[in-house]
Chains A and B, each alone.
Chain A
Amino acid sequence: MVASADLLRVEDLAISFAIMGGAIHAVKRANLRILPGKVTALVGESGSGKSVIGQAIMGILPRSARARGRILFSDPESPGETADILQMPPDGREIRGIRGRRIGKIFQEPMTSLSPLHTIGNQVGEVLKIHTTLSAEECRERTEGMLALVGFPNPRRAYDMYPFELSGGLRQRAMIAMALICHPALLIADEPTTALDVTIQAQILLLLRELQANLNMAMLLITHDLGVVANVADEVVVIYHGEIMEAGPVDAIFRRPTHPYLKGLMAAVPHFDMKPGERLKALREVPVNVENLLGKKKPKKGTDVLLSVRNLTKSFSIRQSDWSFGEVATVRAVDCVSFDIRRGECLGLVGESGSGKTTVSKLLMRAVTPDQGSVVFNDSDSPIDVLSATGSALRKLRTKIQMVFQDPVSSLSPRMTVQNILSEPLEIHGRGDAQTRLASVSALMRAIGLDQHFVNRYPHSFSGGQRQRIGIARALALGPDLLICDEPVSALDVSVQAQILNLLKDLQKELGLTYLFISHNLAVVDYMADRIAVMCGGRIVELAPREALMGNPIHPYTRALLAAIPFPDLDRPLDLGMLRKNGASDTATWGPQFRDDGEEGVLAHTDIGDGHFLLARRSADAKELLPC
């Protein structure tokens, strides 16, 4: 029989959700198989039904879901026997014996998928308590061993820590430990690295691959990221709107994609080999129409500086205390940051989470007050001191600098219609009367390619990409000069990401906007930016024109960031040597010329030509700074 060769077979699976007045068919007659000891990737956009299949395999579908078909699990523990998971009574003893013991699962959000009230050891060890008869000491020993295996530097201490005391990467490692502690035959990883930084993502992928090989288990990797697929998977299954489009070995799929959907998906990912001016092909392109838009200017690109930032510094104090008397530690979130944004350009700001890039954007918006430094905005008639502006100068400044946020869900009020959201900035600044505001809103809707009829809807009836477009329209309402985009696409799918990036590019061209584009994704910044600044630990470590930074990265941190990006290309696997255990921001791995070793003020920005700045020791000579 062929079936016995497969660890898991999904046959004619159909899943629907009962909703008011009908049903949503999330999965339609899906067939797929998972081979033992191999990594099978299930690729699709959000809403394609890929996560629902993962839930169905575990038998943890939401109560409103109805599943038909067969999910056949051939447990290697009991050869020859095949059980249909869908036939088992829900939450019954049989299915609970499979969950956690024979099939493990890790989720996308490591913060929300761990209980904040229970220690790591409690939550990981619980799996052993459910499925084994080990004593408490043995459980603790096994748990600590598992935590060590997934890369916790000090498992004994980590056992008694709470999830919120750990970084995102370590939390995801704890989730992996929880899923693998009973050595399951199958691991379902549902977007395991989407919420993580690139460097951490590379480490987690590496870890998953290693563990998968060492424990000889199969893995179902659910993801939308083709770069991840190319680096990890053996088999690929592509799903689109609940239907399986294409399936096969990774080699065949990547080298000879046949289905137009997969081809489109591949063209939508920004990559480093793009020619200047080459455009991403979004699956669904948005037409931009900026006629009648407020503040439409002649596009001009010059060398005059629009925003000048000098020596910006901000420290936060953190209270670290248990039951004892608290000690106050200070962390320099932003440390002597200086840069210029030229009129009409896009300056990219790259760094991992915690590098201080979002704090910089908050400082520029005056949401946080800096300890020292200066920010000057060169308006068309006179320069404005951003940090000390008050009264009418501040009001004027607010119309000049606007922000696009990361999360399109929480950045739009759920109780306001699109009409309210888009006209609110106009109302605050007393622009026009009700009639002209209405006209402005419809001009904004045209600019972002949304239909006029949608203005009376609420944000929840839009998709993530549409919501982000509304967020962009809100930022454009007052006709700003400078747009600060804080991770505008990192919460979006690849296909939607391309659409938003193209929209931002078009708007920049049509309206003569200047961007500060903040992102952790170097490939995205590479597509958008004219010049790129790389931040690490609150400092800008390298700042250079795009071609120079991508073609000739010098700082070890920049190089580590570049090395950690997974390419959707089988011939460019991740460079494992570059992915050190502590992440790219571990200064110990940097060359001595880039470290300050605790000394104050020994590092300075050095120009190595063509506007390529590096943060290095003053004493280091130019030769040391060139790549070896």
Chain B
Amino acid sequence: MLRYVGWRIAAMVPTLLIISALVFTIIELPPGDYFESYAAELRAQGEGVDMGQLEALRAEYGFDQPVVIRYFYWVAGMLQGDFGYSFEYQVPVSDVIGNRMWLTVLVSFVTIVFTWVIAFPIGMYSATHQYSWGDYGLTFLGLIGIAIPNFMLALILMYFANIWFGTSIGHLMDQRYLGEPMSWDKAKSIVEHLWIPVIIIGTAGTAGMIRRLRANLLDELQKQYVMTARAKGLHPFRTLVKYPLRMSLNFFVSDIGSILPAIISGAEITAIVLSLETTGPMLIKALRSQDMYLAGAFLMFLAFLTVIGVLISDLALAILDPRIRLQGGSTK
């Protein structure tokens, strides 16, 4: 098993290298660079552009070098914790992201907890009361949750919040706290604003998880060992939690791999609609304006989290399921 862990960690290095090459290529693909987009923007606003100054900037940031060399500078910089310079914000990339990162993590984390807290009891109820009115009703609600796009739900909620309560539910905090240091009032304001995005972002995930949990549990409830547990005289609820639920956790753990990157990317479109101060809108903006180091750092970070997430879920599966840990594969 230790060998397995070591091997998996070693395998991450080439994986990340390949991803970094891909990310860099994709960022380089559109014609031009940030300075050209910047000049075009200036011209569009009717201002003059000093081409000499642009060339000097290009040389300063190494944009006159061949692509391959720039790639290696970029990778070497990232290894030392230097993610480059955001042209748009005129500060190092790490400063730009850092501000919004913890808010994103907060929203995502609360959303995940919300998803689990809602999905688990409902999934268990649906599975144990299959084809009852409760099951049908919750299934119907769940399907609606899956079918409505997040941003649509956001627009609807905004509309009704405005009509009924006369308030705007955008943003993650009252605007006067933006850029302020953390205080008791700011925290209170964040909590007041948080629940709306959490519900909107979490609805689809909750509904999906209910469906999967229900399907998995229904499979497991048919298994012989459930009968064995009942024959022991175990309480039905204890039986459900100890045996079938535990068995159906495997799919849930496998999901961790995709949850981690979602924490950072957030729900971009919802975030834009609700004007949330998370990283999602920033990534989209960076990609549009060819702010390449900012975008590249984002994409690399997502890739890194995906790789780590998959590793964690694999290891968690091995811990959770002794068959994976102890049985190993025999060769043919």
| A residues in contact (CB < 8 Å) with B | 55, 58, 60, 91, 96-101, 104-105, 107, 109, 112-118, 123, 126-127, 130-131, 162, 164-165, 175, 178-179, 316-326, 368
Contacts A115-B243, A117-B247, A117-B321 given; indicate if A126 touches B232 (C-beta within 8 A). yes
Q: Which residues of A contact B229 (CB under 8 A)?
A: 115, 126
**B228-A113 in contact (CB<8A):** yes
**B2-A130 in contact (CB<8A):** no
**A368-B332 in contact (CB<8A):** yes
Q: Which residues of A contact B183 (CB under 8 A)?
A: none
B8 sits at the interface (CB 8 A): no
**Residue in contact with B330 in the complex, picked from A118, A179, A319, CB distance below 8 Å:** A319
A116-B323, A117-B323, A130-B232 known; 17 other A-B pairs, CB under 8 Å? A55-B227, A60-B231, A100-B234, A104-B231, A105-B228, A112-B225, A114-B228, A115-B247, A116-B321, A130-B233, A131-B233, A164-B323, A165-B326, A178-B228, A321-B328, A326-B1, A326-B3
**B322-A58 in contact (CB<8A):** no
> Shortest CB–CB separation between residue B233 and chain A, in angstroms?
4
Enumerate 8 A-B pairs (CB-CB under 8 Å) in ascending A order. Answer: A58-B231, A91-B230, A112-B224, A115-B243, A117-B246, A117-B323, A118-B243, A130-B234
**A324-B232 in contact (CB<8A):** no
CB closest chain-A residue, reference B128: A63
**B232-A178 in contact (CB<8A):** yes
CB closest chain-A residue, reference B220: A115
> Shortest CB–CB separation between residue B4 and chain A, in angstroms?
8
> Shortest CB–CB separation between residue A601 and chain B, in angstroms?
26
> Shortest CB–CB separation between residue B313 and chain A, in angstroms?
17
5 smallest beta-carbon distances between A and B, as pairs? A319-B328, A99-B233, A100-B233, A100-B232, A323-B1
Q: Which residues of A contact B230 (CB under 8 A)?
A: 58, 60, 91, 99
B235 sits at the interface (CB 8 A): yes
CA distance A111 to B326 in the complex (A): 16
**B323-A60 in contact (CB<8A):** no
Q: Which residues of B contact A112 (CB under 8 A)?
A: 223-225
**A113-B323 in contact (CB<8A):** no
> Shortest CB–CB separation between residue B77 and chain A, in angstroms?
37
CA distance A104 to B228 in the complex (A): 10
**Residue in contact with A162 in the complex, picked from B3, B242, B323, CB distance below 8 Å:** B323
CA distance A117 to B321 in the complex (A): 6
Q: Which residues of A contact B243 (CB under 8 A)?
A: 115, 118
B325 sits at the interface (CB 8 A): yes
**A126-B1 in contact (CB<8A):** no
**Residue in contact with B232 in the complex, picked from A55, A99, A316, A326, CB distance below 8 Å:** A99
> Shortest CB–CB separation between residue B232 and chain A, in angstroms?
4
CB closest chain-A residue, reference B1: A323
B45 sits at the interface (CB 8 A): no
| Interface of chain B residues 233 through 292 with chain A (CB within 8 A) | 233-236, 242-243, 246-247
Contacts A109-B224, A325-B2, A368-B332 given; indicate if A116 touches B236 (C-beta within 8 A). no
> Shortest CB–CB separation between residue B269 and chain A, in angstroms?
39
Contacts A105-B231, A323-B1 given; indicate if A316 touches B330 (C-beta within 8 A). yes
Q: Which residues of B contact A118 (CB under 8 A)?
A: 242-243
Convert B190-220 into 0s and 1s, putting 1 for each residue whose CB lies closer than 8 angstroms to a CB of A.
Answer: 0000000000000000000000000000000
> Shortest CB–CB separation between residue A157 and chain B, in angstroms?
14
> Shortest CB–CB separation between residue A332 and chain B, in angstroms?
13
**Residue in contact with B224 in the complex, picked from A97, A107, A131, CB distance below 8 Å:** A107
**B321-A107 in contact (CB<8A):** no
CA distance A178 to B232 in the complex (A): 8
**A101-B233 in contact (CB<8A):** yes
Most buried by B among A104, A114, A123: A123
Convert B55-82 into 0s and 1s, putting 1 for each residue whose CB lies closer than 8 angstroms to a CB of A.
Answer: 0000000000000000000000000000
B329 sits at the interface (CB 8 A): yes
CA distance A626 to B262 in the complex (A): 75
CB closest chain-B residue, reference A59: B230
CB closest chain-A residue, reference B130: A63
CA distance A178 to B2 in the complex (A): 34
B327 sits at the interface (CB 8 A): yes
CA distance A109 to B228 in the complex (A): 11
Most buried by B among A55, A127, A317, A323: A323
Q: Which residues of B contact A322 (CB under 8 A)?
A: 1, 325-326
Q: Which residues of B contact A113 (CB under 8 A)?
A: 224-225, 227-228
Q: Which residues of A contact B236 (CB under 8 A)?
A: 91
Convert B306-332 into 0s and 1s, putting 1 for each residue whose CB lies closer than 8 angstroms to a CB of A.
Answer: 000000000000001111011111111
Contacts A98-B233, A107-B227, A117-B321 given; indicate if A320 touches B328 (C-beta within 8 A). yes
Q: Which residues of A contact B228 (CB under 8 A)?
A: 105, 107, 113-115, 123, 175, 178
Q: Which residues of A contact B247 (CB under 8 A)?
A: 115, 117
Contacts A60-B231, A112-B225, A113-B224 given; indicate if A319 touches B329 (C-beta within 8 A). yes
> Shortest CB–CB separation between residue B136 and chain A, in angstroms?
17
> Shortest CB–CB separation between residue B226 and chain A, in angstroms?
9
CA distance A9 to B3 in the complex (A): 59
CA distance A96 to B323 in the complex (A): 31
CB closest chain-B residue, reference A63: B130
> Shortest CB–CB separation between residue A11 and chain B, in angstroms?
23
**A326-B325 in contact (CB<8A):** no
Q: Which residues of A contact B321 (CB under 8 A)?
A: 116-117
CA distance A314 to B243 in the complex (A): 38
Q: Which residues of B contact A104 (CB under 8 A)?
A: 231
CA distance A116 to B232 in the complex (A): 17
CA distance A322 to B227 in the complex (A): 30
CB closest chain-B residue, reference A91: B236
**B322-A325 in contact (CB<8A):** no
**B327-A164 in contact (CB<8A):** yes
> Shortest CB–CB separation between residue A337 and chain B, in angstroms?
18
CA distance A104 to B230 in the complex (A): 11
CA distance A116 to B230 in the complex (A): 16
CB closest chain-A residue, reference B6: A325
CA distance A115 to B249 in the complex (A): 14
> Shortest CB–CB separation between residue A34 and chain B, in angstroms?
17
Contacts A91-B236, A117-B246, A127-B232 given; indicate if A316 touches B331 (C-beta within 8 A). yes
Q: Which residues of A contact B223 (CB under 8 A)?
A: 112
| Interface of chain B residues 1 through 35 with chain A (CB within 8 A) | 1-3
Contacts A112-B225, A164-B327 given; indicate if A100 touches B231 (C-beta within 8 A). yes
CA distance A280 to B127 in the complex (A): 48
**B233-A97 in contact (CB<8A):** yes
**Residue in contact with A317 in the complex, picked from B227, B235, B320, B331, CB distance below 8 Å:** B331
**B232-A317 in contact (CB<8A):** no
> Shortest CB–CB separation between residue B308 and chain A, in angstroms?
21
CA distance A167 to B223 in the complex (A): 20
> Shortest CB–CB separation between residue B130 and chain A, in angstroms?
9
CA distance A130 to B225 in the complex (A): 17
CB closest chain-B residue, reference A55: B227
**B328-A326 in contact (CB<8A):** yes
> Shortest CB–CB separation between residue B322 and chain A, in angstroms?
5
> Shortest CB–CB separation between residue A80 and chain B, in angstroms?
23
**B330-A324 in contact (CB<8A):** no
Q: Which residues of A contact B233 (CB under 8 A)?
A: 96-101, 127, 130-131
CA distance A22 to B224 in the complex (A): 26
> Shortest CB–CB separation between residue B128 and chain A, in angstroms?
10
Q: Which residues of A contact B227 (CB under 8 A)?
A: 55, 60, 107, 113
CA distance A316 to B252 in the complex (A): 34
Q: Which residues of B contact A126 (CB under 8 A)?
A: 229, 232, 234
Q: Which residues of B contact A58 (CB under 8 A)?
A: 230-231
**A317-B322 in contact (CB<8A):** no
**B234-A317 in contact (CB<8A):** no
